[in-house]
């Protein structure tokens, strides 16, 4: 039979007095493991009720569910003030910039792929400390028409923020024949840039769909005939100019052989492989990317996160604690309210 008085005392010492489990164990003459069981039991019986007091609670829960459902190391879910493309990109850029500030390490090699969303990340980075990073392109970026890839601007903005250096890959992303690609890669400088990109510890990239609205189509790398061919081959998305199907498998190997970019398999070797993408039109592309294992971090919006979760067989809806020590820390800051009835 449960000793309600003892459970209440343990809960009060832990959540109110902010003593750790070892300190409580010494006071009561029991083991730390016993105290852990008492704290769990106090929650099970409703002696302790957890209330998260934050306007960001729902986004945090979505992040947790996505991380568990798709086995990602981190998910960031943002809520734009209005559901327009420009507003979504703006808040994704802010979140991506904050993520880089937190996760970039001194002397990191940061590989970036050009996209309008990645540009927003770069533009939202303030001048930071001197981490002496090297910023390199993950794919070719030479403009094909009036549409600017903004690749040099992205690289320079991120390098400036961290007082780092740049390495630009000023070649087309897609060439007409594989022999042309091989010829370009025989140039020592181009080969060195691609080799440096392959060694990047952190990769940041957008995700494209297979449509006339994609950046590659607007940039002149795709035409209607090639789009039709990609769709017929089952392509649902694109990263670094490389197209893949719903399971993340490369589509049109012949096209892949003409693409100047880091291989998608290389993304799996990065410490951080972060995708910044949102939108109903990109859900299939994001799912294919995740199934292919090409990212371990996803930065997206609330609406996209909800749709992604609807595609899982067993969405994780259990919002109970898994780590009491984390809750204990949050309680100190006031972000999580621990309520002990009668106290």
For range 110-120, the mean pLDDT: 94
The region of weakest confidence among 185-189, 260-264, 290-294, 314-318 is 314-318
pLDDT at 215 exceeding the cut of 80: yes
Could you say which architecture CATH assigns to the domain 79-310? 3-Layer(aba) Sandwich (3.40)
Query: 93 or 333, which is more confident?
Result: 93
How far, in Å, CA of 77 to CA of 134, rounded?
28
For range 268-291, the mean pLDDT: 96
Query: 334 or 38, which is more confident?
Result: 38
Distances 97 to 4, 73, 131, 187 between C-alpha atoms, Å: 48, 18, 15, 34
Distances 334 to 48, 216, 237, 263 between C-alpha atoms, Å: 16, 46, 42, 45
* Token pair belonging to 340: 């002990």
Q: What is the pLDDT of residue 330?
A: 44
pLDDT tens-digit profile of 5-24? 889 899 989 988 889 999 99
Candidates 255, 248, 256; CA nearest to 226 is 255
Q: What is the pLDDT of residue 300?
A: 95
Percentage of residues in the chain having pLDDT higher than 70: 87
pLDDT at 338 exceeding the cut of 70: no
Domain with CATH 3.40.50.1360 in the chain: 79-310
For range 127-152, the mean pLDDT: 83
User: Which pLDDT band holds residue 323 (cuts at 50, 70, 90)?
Assistant: very low
Distances 245 to 43, 222, 256 between C-alpha atoms, Å: 45, 17, 13
pLDDT tens-digit profile of 73-84? 999 999 888 878
Q: What is the pLDDT of residue 129?
A: 79
User: Which pLDDT band holds residue 221 (cuts at 50, 70, 90)?
Assistant: confident
If phi over 0 gives left and psi between -120 and 50 gives alpha, with beta otherwise, what is residue 240? Answer: left
pLDDT at 72 exceeding the cut of 90: yes
């Amino acid at each position: 039979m449960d000793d309600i008085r003892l459970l209440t005392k343990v809960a009060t010492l832990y959540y109110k007095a902010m003593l750790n489990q070892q300190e409580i164990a010494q006071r009561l003459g029991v083991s730390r493991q016993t105290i852990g069981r008492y704290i769990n039991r106090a929650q099970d019986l409703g002696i302790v009720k957890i209330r998260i007091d934050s306007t960001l609670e729902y986004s945090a829960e979505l992040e947790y569910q996505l991380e568990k459902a798709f086995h990602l190391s981190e998910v960031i879910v943002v809520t734009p003030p209005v559901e327009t493309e420009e507003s979504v990109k703006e808040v994704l850029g802010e979140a991506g910039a904050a993520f880089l500030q937190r996760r970039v390490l001194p002397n990191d090699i940061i590989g970036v792929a050009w996209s309008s969303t990645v540009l927003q990340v770069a533009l939202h980075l303030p001048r930071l400390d001197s981490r002496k990073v090297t910023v390199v392109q993950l794919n070719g970026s030479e403009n094909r028409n009036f549409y600017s890839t903004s690749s040099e601007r992205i690289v320079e903005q991120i390098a400036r923020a961290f007082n780092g250096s740049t390495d630009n890959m000023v070649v087309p992303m897609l060439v007409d024949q594989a022999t042309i690609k091989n010829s370009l890669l025989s140039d020592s400088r181009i080969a060195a840039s691609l080799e440096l990109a392959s060694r990047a510890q952190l990769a940041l990239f957008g995700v494209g769909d297979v449509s006339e609205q994609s950046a590659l189509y607007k940039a002149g790398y795709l035409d209607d005939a090639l789009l039709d061919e990609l769709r017929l081959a089952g392509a649902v998305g694109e990263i670094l100019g490389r197209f893949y199907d719903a399971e993340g498998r490369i589509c049109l190997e012949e096209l892949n052989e003409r693409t100047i970019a880091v291989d998608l398999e290389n993304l799996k070797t990065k410490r951080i492989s972060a995708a910044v993408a949102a939108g109903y039109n990109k859900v299939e592309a994001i799912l294919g990317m995740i199934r292919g294992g090409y990212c371990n971090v996803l930065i997206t919006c609330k609406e996209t996160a909800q749709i992604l979760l609807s595609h899982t067989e067993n969405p994780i809806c259990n919002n109970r604690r898994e780590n009491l020590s984390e809750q204990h820390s949050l309680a100190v800051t006031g972000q999580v309210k621990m309520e002990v009835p009668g106290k």
